[in-house]
A and B are shown apart, each in its own frame.
Chain A
Amino acid sequence: MQDDARPRKDPAGKPPDPDHTQTNPLIRKLDSLASLSDADRAVLETISADTRSVPAHTDLIREGDAPNGVYLILEGMACRYKRRSRGARQIMAYLIPGDFCDLDVAMLKEMDHAIGTLSACEVVQIPLDTIQELLRSHPTITHALRLATLVDEATLREWLVNVGRRSADERIAHLLCELLLRLQAVGCASSDAYAFPLTQVDLADTTGLSSVHVNRSLASLRERGLIEISDQHLRILDLQRLQALAEFKPNYLHLVRGAAA
């Protein structure tokens, strides 16, 4: 019954583009931030070709490890996190298709946090010298990647407001609104639905809540007719009311080209 809740690759309902660069989430993302040339798209296609499958709940790199390249997520969902000595985890960012993990990580001797998959992912590990060559030779890509980093920082600020100044229901609502827009921007969500591999524990570790409170908040949002979760898919039933509840303003995502410039 949830078939129509599954995200379509093209939310506008257009037929699939035979040119794969239009479905590559990295290219879609950077194209939304800067006017890429055909040569830019071609080089991005080349560096994202060598994917490998990584199972869910697998670390790509751990805290304390020396950076061993830049990871690019092409499918699935990963996260940045830190763990306390007793095991408690705080997730500081979700990495969705098209996201790079730590473009400038080569400047650091060791990771101060870990990056791990939340769902099964398709990942590319790009050598640092390839990245440096890309940044040297493709100024428009460099510009787009800098804007993407600014958006990542803006998102982190919004998450800080979330854990510090929003109620449990508002935190969850805000996160769900944000994910819809981010996933739509890379062609991984329909107008109101997307794949939702996150567990209640993942959401708890993201929002600074207990999984008990996350369970109650999800139930509350469902009972108010705002969302529906089934078979690892989430559908937002009333986006306007969900955004109003969370006081969600999408300005920090800078989804209109040039808005972050």
Chain B
Amino acid sequence: MTLRLQPVKVATGSDDQESQLVFKDGFLVAVLVCLSDSHGSDVGKWFLEAGFGPVDDPDPPLFSDLDEAQAWITTQLALTVS
């Protein structure tokens, strides 16, 4: 399963702007936002700003890097296939 990332800026109403759209087979499945230094020790982590379909989560996780985020998204997408 291959994901495609596309850098964007998201208007979160905060200093958190650097973001990535995450696509699977041309479909947008998630929006990841990199946390700014206003989040203290979580600065630089990636936050699941939005997830679509099986990637939606009421308790959205933080990821230490984009590889970890993509692995989690891939797992979520695979869960619905089985």
Q: Which residues of A line the B interface, CB within 8 A?
A: 86, 88, 208, 210, 212, 215-216, 219-220
Pairs across A and B, CB under 8 Å, 16 listed: A88-B58, A88-B59, A208-B58, A210-B47, A210-B59, A212-B42, A212-B60, A215-B14, A215-B38, A216-B12, A216-B14, A216-B16, A219-B14, A219-B38, A220-B13, A220-B14
A residues near B30, Cβ cutoff 8 Å: none
B residues 29-64 with Cβ under 8 Å of A?
35, 38-39, 42, 47, 58-60, 62
Q: When the two chains form their complex, are residues B58 and A216 in contact, meaning their CB atoms are under 8 A apart?
A: no
CB distance from A82 to the nearest CB of B (A): 14
CB distance from A171 to the nearest CB of B (A): 15
Question: Nearest 6 CB-CB pairs, A to B?
Answer: A216-B14, A88-B59, A212-B47, A210-B60, A215-B39, A219-B38
- B-side interface residues, number (CB < 8 Å): 13
CB distance from B33 to the nearest CB of A (A): 8
| A216 to B, closest residue via Cβ | B14
B residues 1-40 with Cβ under 8 Å of A?
12-14, 16, 35, 38-39
B residues near A88, Cβ cutoff 8 Å: 58-59
A residues near B12, Cβ cutoff 8 Å: 216
B residues near A86, Cβ cutoff 8 Å: 59
A residues near B58, Cβ cutoff 8 Å: 88, 208
Complex Cα distance, B16 from A103, in Å, reads 45
Complex Cα distance, B14 from A219, in Å, reads 8
Over the window 48-82 of chain B, the binary record of Cβ atoms lying under 8 Å from chain A Cβ atoms (1 yes, 0 no) is 00000000001110100000000000000000000
B residues near A215, Cβ cutoff 8 Å: 14, 38-39
A residues near B47, Cβ cutoff 8 Å: 210, 212
Complex Cα distance, B60 from A86, in Å, reads 13
Complex Cα distance, B1 from A106, in Å, reads 55
- Which of B13, B38, B42 has most A Cβ within 10 Å? B13
Complex Cα distance, B17 from A216, in Å, reads 12
A residues near B38, Cβ cutoff 8 Å: 215, 219
A residues near B62, Cβ cutoff 8 Å: 212
CB distance from A193 to the nearest CB of B (A): 23
CB distance from A245 to the nearest CB of B (A): 14
B residues near A212, Cβ cutoff 8 Å: 16, 35, 39, 42, 47, 60, 62
Complex Cα distance, B39 from A212, in Å, reads 8
Q: A215-B14, A216-B14, A220-B13 are in contact. List 8 more A-B contacts (CB 8 A).
A: A208-B58, A210-B59, A210-B60, A212-B47, A215-B38, A216-B12, A216-B13, A220-B14
